[in-house]
Amino acid sequence: RSGSFNVCWCGAHDACIGPASYNMHVGVLVAGGPKQGQVHNPPLGVPFTYTLEGWGLTRDDRIRIIDHTYSCGNDGAERMSGGVWHSSVPVLGPSLSSGDDPGNLTSVAWEGIILTRVS
């Protein structure tokens, strides 16, 4: 999950029991990446643009559209679904992006994807 977190410290000499032990703020932890859980409903057979929003995104990012029977990060996630028209498979980085810093974009998008069937 993306977001900001405070990092509180408890030294090894303390018992580190209860909130009073973690009394020194040592920093902020910020997790970036795309917003998760976005749902898109494109029509079949019509080109659409798939957009990811978040931060820390780059033009080198890639996506795979996989059948729902597979899970991201597991075997099968490296293969594009057969439901994506072969000529529209997004194999390169995004065609559109927004943000001032190339290493910290806030939006990336792949255009012209066509779904031919639902898995």
pLDDT > 90? residue 95: yes
Q: Mean per-residue pLDDT for 3-7?
A: 63
Q: Taking the complete model, does pTM exceed 0.85, yes or no?
A: no
pLDDT given at position 109: 93
d(CA 33, CA 72): 15
Please report which confidence band the pLDDT of residue 7 belongs to, taking 50, 70 and 90 as the band edges: low
Least Cα distance to 42 among 97, 88, 108 occurs for 88
- Per-residue pLDDT tens for 26-61? 766 666 777 777 778 888 899 999 999 988 888 989
**Percent of all residues in the chain with a pLDDT value above 90, rounded to a whole number:** 23
Q: Report the C-alpha gap between 29 and 37 in whole angstroms.
A: 22
